[in-house]
Structure 1
Amino acid sequence: MLSRFLLLSLVTLLLTACGGGDSAQPSPPPPVTYEYLSVGQPQALVSASPPQEPSTMIMGGGAADVDSAFQWMIERSGVKPGTGGRFVVLRAVRPEVEEYGPYVYYSNNQKATTGPAQSGWVGGAAMGLTSVETLIIPDRAAANDPFVNQVLARAQAVFISGGDQANYIRYWKNTALHTTLNQLMANNVPIGGTSAGLAVLGQFDFSALNDSVSSAEALADPYNTFMTLDPDPLSLSGGFLTPGSFKNAILDSHFDERNRMGRLMTFVSRLVAPVGTSGCAGGILAAGTSPINGARAVGVSEQAALLVEGDGQRKPYTARRAVNPDLVMAGAIYFVRPLQAATTCQPGKPLTAYSMEISKLDDDQVFNLSDWTGLPTYTIDVVDGVLSREPY
């Protein structure tokens, strides 16, 4: 009897060690990796009326954010004094100093919550916000966390910070966070982004999965290892975030300072499907002026923002520039589309693409994103990886 007891005990211990049998213990849940920061009163009641049409803001990055662009997002969200409202900031990496919460919420460096905002402050509390909440989401587990999505789902406006867009594609795409963001956009909640946050707001994205790419590198070889696009392979579905105003478009930031016109022309050329001996392998759109399937691109310079409103149906998508008024040299915004498919677009060979049409927005004019009109145009050719003239 003793030997049978010992044998049974040994079998039980082995089953337990191997995870078999009734005595196996469930795996502990993964550790919480997100961080949550807030300014104001996140639990305050909110009575803001939902907006009736979409609003999208893209900012080019740089040393200073555009105060009026955030103010515009708050106004478009339906938040007013007395209604309350939650402004949610998303990022993948925690900054050394949490700048967006105080910057958006307060009116000055004395933490005023009333009165007009001083330069360098948004004054969201005076406009009606009751909180600015920041979610730091560094992996897919955090992006699927119920608390993260509960905070995000309550937002009246959402802003995606700068950083590395590869993190947003790797960690956020096809998660619960992705679903929540799509639902917010479907409900016309304003969404904005700067730098990397801008990069993920086109239907097609430069995903930077293998690091960044310079204009010279892109023009010299449109398929070099750094030229990673999302979705991959290119498709009309399966991307990350797609505001209706940026259908068929790819976006880029830090435009003037980092000389990115060449790489944006290469990005948009890659979107154009082969036609005969022209076009780029893997492309799925058309060259030319079609608002249905024409490839498009938008480049935003530093310390400038593009404010887009309309629903594309009852009202066209229209865009205007916003800058801080005290800037001596304010950045421009460029709208680019290929009027012809690239004639040379192959791995290992320099790009040749004729008739790249450019519209430059550097004042208070309004650009129609639905039919791509409202500004003078000029064209540039790319021949053997070299632009035919100064593009800016």
Structure 2
Amino acid sequence: MLIHHFYQSLKRIFSGYRQIAFLLTALVFAAPASAEATFEKAKPIPLYSYFATGDVNAVVTAPSTLPAPSFVLMGGGPDVDSAFRWLIQRAGITPETGGRFVVIRATGTEAYNPYIYYSDEALTTSTTIAELWVGGASLGLTSVETLVIPSVKAANSPAVNAILSKANVVFIAGGDQSHYIRFWKGTALEQTLKSLMAKNVPVGGTSAGLAVLGQFDYSALYQSATSELSMLDPYYKDITFDPAPLSLQGGFIAPPALANMIFDSHFDSRDRMGRFITFLSRIVAPTSSASGTFGCPGGVLPASSSGNMTARGIGIGVETALLVQGNGNGKPVTAKRVTNPSTTTESAVYFVRPSVPPSVCEPKTPLTVANVEVRKLADPDGVFNMTDWTGVPLYNHLDVTSGTLFPADWY
């Protein structure tokens, strides 16, 4: 920087190039050897980052296989403390068994580690847990570990997958879901996640981490789609999905318990109902009848107000978590909504299902779809049946007519 300023001064004093060059050469060669210390060699970028809080070498006897799946679907914004505790409990972790909680992300830091492991800002492991802390150690966690996995190469790393494979709970942090699709899909990491889910290891995700937990994912490969532009053109460039093209197979991780669903976060605070109805419309397969052709080109599921093999999705507000649990063979998958005691938002969950196919769904053409069912869960005691899509009364029917949502005040 000193040489740079000196050079600029010389330019103002001398107009001749040779004079400047001569003086600069003399300055460089006259510089003391210690000046070299100011120029550091570029440090290699690590393949991945790993952070651990607690004792990763502790003996863990928590069950590696569980009888039913468990998922936390979190809507972004402030994390919901009780949802993390629920994951720990669903994993069968106790102070006697120990357990490992692994957070995965493509960017970011180890900020989740102390929040999940400790009980308060003094970083104690007290059984008295303060709000905004999980207190995992007091519940039995022996470690909380974060893996930052920023590339395909990192996702294929044997070391990364060895750490993840030992997890008793997995949580996918927020960030940018396009990174998860670009960097993790089709890698050893995806296979490790699927192996853990096959053993019903509890899995959670927030914001971008939520977005990749459905059978269909809004992959956000470009800019974040807006409701206004989505309804005006349901095929505009920022609406990207995984799998692409849409298919009943091939999605990233695609937990079987969450089949036929797509998720969206920050739902009411970012006014995302319009884009979400567009996403769901795109999933609806074309059908033909005497009255015409309905549905969306490229769609793969029917629209219906009954049955569980239909296009449907869940939008989740900020500081909101949906606790989704299997209940054994032949029993429905159920869900409850939780939030923090001090939340200042409504913290609602919206269950959305097109009851009939869109009547207009073409590129560069405003969307028209009628009678989209919306069920709203803001009651801490309510239980939603995700298998039958029942348990919460109908909240509203919404229409999109020529690219405009009615009613606009859907929330």
After TM superposition, the score normalised by the length of structure 2 is 0.86
Q: Deviations over 1:263-304 (max 9, x none)?
A: 110000000000021000000100003434200010000000
What is the correspondence of 1:178-327 to structure 2 with a 5 Å cutoff?
Answer: 178-276=190-288, 277-310=293-326, 313-327=329-343
Match of 2:35 in 1: none
Match of 2:51 in 1: 37
Q: Would you say how many aligned residue pairs link Structure 1 and Structure 2?
A: 360
Residues in 2 aligned to 1:329 and 1:203: alpha-carbon distance in whole angstroms: 28
Residue in structure 1 matching 2:389, options 365, 372, 375: 372
Match of 1:151 in 2: 163
Residue in structure 1 matching 2:135, options 123, 137, 142: 123
Q: Does 1:382 align with 2:396?
A: no
Q: Does 1:79 align with 2:93?
A: yes
1:111 positional shift: 1.1
CA contact (8 A) 1:223 1:346 kept: yes
CA contact (8 A) 2:67 2:328 kept: no
Residues in 2 aligned to 1:334 and 1:125: alpha-carbon distance in whole angstroms: 33
Residues in 1 aligned to 2:106 and 2:317: alpha-carbon distance in whole angstroms: 23
The amino acid across from 1:286 in the alignment is P
Match of 1:25 in 2: none
Partner SS state of residue 126, structure 2: coil
Match of 1:58 in 2: 73
Residues in 2 aligned to 1:103 and 1:227: alpha-carbon distance in whole angstroms: 34
1:31 positional shift: 7.4
CA contact (8 A) 2:150 2:183 kept: yes
Q: Structure 2 regions of 5+ residues with no counterpart?
A: 1-43
Match of 1:339 in 2: 355
1:329 positional shift: 2.7
CA contact (8 A) 1:245 1:312 kept: no
CA contact (8 A) 2:308 2:389 kept: no
> What is the RMSD of the two structures over their aligned residues, measured on CA atoms?
1.3
The amino acid across from 2:400 in the alignment is V
1:330 positional shift: 3.3
After TM superposition, the score normalised by the length of structure 1 is 0.90
Residues in 1 aligned to 2:263 and 2:342: alpha-carbon distance in whole angstroms: 26
1:325 positional shift: 1.0
Q: Does 1:360 align with 2:376?
A: yes
Residues in 1 aligned to 2:174 and 2:157: alpha-carbon distance in whole angstroms: 22
Residues in 2 aligned to 1:149 and 1:236: alpha-carbon distance in whole angstroms: 27
CA contact (8 A) 1:32 1:142 kept: no
Partner SS state of residue 325, structure 1: coil
CA contact (8 A) 1:244 1:311 kept: no
Partner SS state of residue 104, structure 1: helix
Q: Kindly name which structure, 1 or 2, has the bigger radius of gyration based on alpha carbons.
A: 2
Residues in 2 aligned to 1:311 and 1:176: alpha-carbon distance in whole angstroms: 30
Match of 1:21 in 2: none
The amino acid across from 2:269 in the alignment is E
Residues in 2 aligned to 1:143 and 1:329: alpha-carbon distance in whole angstroms: 36
Q: Deviations over 1:334-366 (max 9, x none)?
A: 000000000000000111001100000001200
